[in-house]
């Protein structure tokens, strides 16, 4: 079985993105590396917490593509958290169209991380489920997921320190370009 590992910077960004917008579905891109047996998620780019329009998606895609070219990372998947606290036993039966489009660019080995609301109350456990696309393009195959306890501890510490407002997604950046969607200030707090 293929596996996925989520490093602290990525875990904190995607979890804080969801925490900042509890009444909205949130979506972002996962950056990292892949080989035949494992995907390592090293960073997350928070994209949207509002309904996505095509021009916004095109701008966001261009910015993320440029960012990826400047780093040693590649896009390895997406993350998605619903606003509803009801957890699904498996991957969502339908993803927002934008998530589907992003994943089509990534091919069969795209990873989807989905927040598990029930696990949010367990402070020592990570709150993610991981899936990989099957040959039909659907997220059906569960991946073995590894999230270091340091990631969970870092997230809990940032949440308690009220760092949530520092997470900026592409929606925030497109409203005010001084809001850094790369979240460099937050990264400094994580590391």
Task: Count the neighbouring beta carbons within 10 Å of the beta carbon of residue 94.
Answer: 9
Task: Give the CATH number of the domain where residue 8 resides.
Answer: 3.40.140.10
Domains in the chain, number:
1
> Is pLDDT above 70 for 11?
yes
Residue 188 lies in a domain: no
Segment 55-108, tens digit of pLDDT? 888 888 888 889 999 998 998 888 888 877 665 556 665 565 666 666 666 655
**Domain range for 167:** 3-179
Segment 115-130, tens digit of pLDDT? 765 555 556 677 788 8
Residue 7 lies in a domain: yes
Residue 173 lies in a domain: yes
Residue 29 lies in a domain: yes
Rounded to 5°, the CA angle 130-100-176 comes to: 95
Segment 150-187, tens digit of pLDDT? 888 888 888 888 766 678 999 999 889 999 999 988 88
The pTM (predicted TM-score) of the whole model is 0.85
Calpha distance 136→55 (Å, rounded)? 28
Residue 119 lies in a domain: yes
């Amino acid at each position: 079985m293929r596996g996925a590992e989520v490093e602290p910077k990525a875990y904190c960004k995607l979890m804080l993105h969801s925490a900042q917008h509890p009444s909205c579905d949130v979506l972002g891109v996962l950056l990292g590396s892949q080989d035949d047996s494992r995907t390592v998620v090293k960073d997350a780019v928070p994209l949207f917490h509002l309904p996505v329009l095509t021009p916004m998606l095109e701008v966001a895609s261009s910015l993320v593509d440029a960012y990826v070219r400047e780093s040693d990372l590649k896009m390895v998947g997406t993350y998605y958290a619903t606003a509803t606290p009801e957890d699904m036993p498996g991957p969502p039966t339908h993803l927002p169209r934008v998530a589907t489009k992003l994943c089509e660019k990534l091919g069969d080995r795209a990873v989807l991380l989905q927040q598990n609301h029930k696990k949010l109350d367990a402070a020592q456990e990570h709150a993610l489920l991981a899936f990989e696309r099957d040959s039909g393009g659907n997220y059906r195959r569960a991946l073995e997921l590894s999230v270091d306890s340091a990631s969970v501890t870092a997230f809990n510490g940032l949440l308690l320190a009220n760092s949530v407002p520092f997470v900026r997604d592409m929606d925030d950046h497109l409203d005010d370009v001084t809001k850094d969607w790369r979240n460099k200030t937050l990264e400094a707090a994580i590391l």
